[in-house]
Amino acid sequence: MSYLEDPVGILVYLITLIGFIYYLNSKSKFSWIFKYLPTVIWIYFLPMFSTTLGILPESSILYDWIKTYLLPPALILLLLSSNILALKKLGSKVIIIMLIATLSIVIGGIISFSIFATWLPNDSWKGLGALSGSWIGGSANMVAVGASIGTSDDLFGIMIIVDTVVGYGWMGIVIFFSSFQERIDRWNGIDNSFIKNINIQMGDIDSKRRPIDFSDLITMLTIGMLGGYLSLKFGEWLPDIGVIITSFGWTIILVSILGIILSLTPLSRLENAGASHIGNFFLYLLLATIGAKANLNAIIHAPLFLLVGVCWIVVHATILFIGGRLFKVPMFLIATSSQANIGGVVSAPIIASVYQKSLAPVGLLMGVLGNIMGIYFGLLTAWLLSLISSYF
């Protein structure tokens, strides 16, 4: 028996927990902690500990409601910022290296899972499928793919550990190589005038942020909730395709398409008022409920999955570097394309600015591209891993 059984009480507790985490993150004397243990870790594991301590229940109608009715609108609101027209300015070489980076994640998942599948739990392909979503665009895709294929809450927690430890470890390595980019480019025979041309083509991408007003908020919630609900109903009418594309899987695909379409309309300007913040809030609520349902004992499997993650990143890095050398791509774009997949829109601009201070917008757009592709390639990776799993 837990202290909180009422869905409203559970919701208030989770919102308060998320607010407290962000309050600490905003204070300089605590913010250093979040550099090593990012926000997503706290949002997942604090509810897990709360359940272990008997504060939260392991099951509640609220948990399923949030997954069903808040994840679809979250994805729509997050995809409103998909500035596809601006992606044209990046040029074909940037698109090619992004595709190579994405395909290397798919291939890396297949190779690493094939090596370790004998020692992994039977449903481990579902966890690694969710991880592939994170490593092609970020946490939103991880949640979307995981929800679509039915990743267990215990496995999801392990994947968050792998994503944080291996993903952030790789980010550190990528930053380290920034000091050698000119040497690597000379060895690869790269003409650095290409970077200057990108700088000219991109021009000045201004986020045009403005304060949110009540009309903005109502419009965001209407678009997100209505679009998510209609996609949910359409998804129920479509047939399941194996264990990957379920009715909820169709919902995820439909909302991603709807979000991309809406990003081509004037509604995309809602991002200037913070549409993605509303989407992220919904996403964090879902992440907190997943943590509340997870079992702390499942973490004992984490070390083996960490090995899988390291192997995965090694394959990704090898393929990406070979592809960059063959297509004469500067180290700046190799590094940024990697982080646009592994880290998404949050960290890709950081890596871009580390390599070329004036080209952070390139990292942002590449991160957006990774976010768009993540759901589809994540589902593809999950399907391939499920086929491999049937042989073990």
Kindly report, residue by residue over 308-317, the tens digit of the pLDDT.
999 999 999 9
Kindly report, residue by residue over 97-126, the tens digit of the pLDDT.
999 999 999 999 999 999 999 999 888 999
Cα distances from 221 to residues 217, 235, 268, 281, in angstroms, run 6, 21, 14, 12
Cβ-proximal residues to 313 (8 Å cutoff; 6+ apart), any chain: 108, 166, 170, 342
**What pLDDT, on a 0 to 100 scale, did the predictor assign at position 106?**
96
Q: Residue length, the chain?
A: 392
**What pLDDT, on a 0 to 100 scale, did the predictor assign at position 169?**
86
Q: Which of 292, 342, 382, 317 is nearest to 139 (CA)?
A: 342
Cβ-proximal residues to 259 (8 Å cutoff; 6+ apart), any chain: 75, 76, 77, 78, 79, 80, 82, 227
Calpha distance 146→155 (Å, rounded): 10
**What pLDDT, on a 0 to 100 scale, did the predictor assign at position 94?**
83
Sign of CA dihedral 131, 274, 101, 314: negative
**What pLDDT, on a 0 to 100 scale, did the predictor assign at position 182?**
85
Cβ-proximal residues to 226 (8 Å cutoff; 6+ apart), any chain: none
Average pLDDT over residues 291-306: 80
Specify whether the CB–CB gap between 95 and 371 falls below 8 A: no
132 versus 253: the higher-pLDDT residue is 132
Domain ranges of the chain: 7-389
- Bridge partners (DSSP) of residue 245 are 241
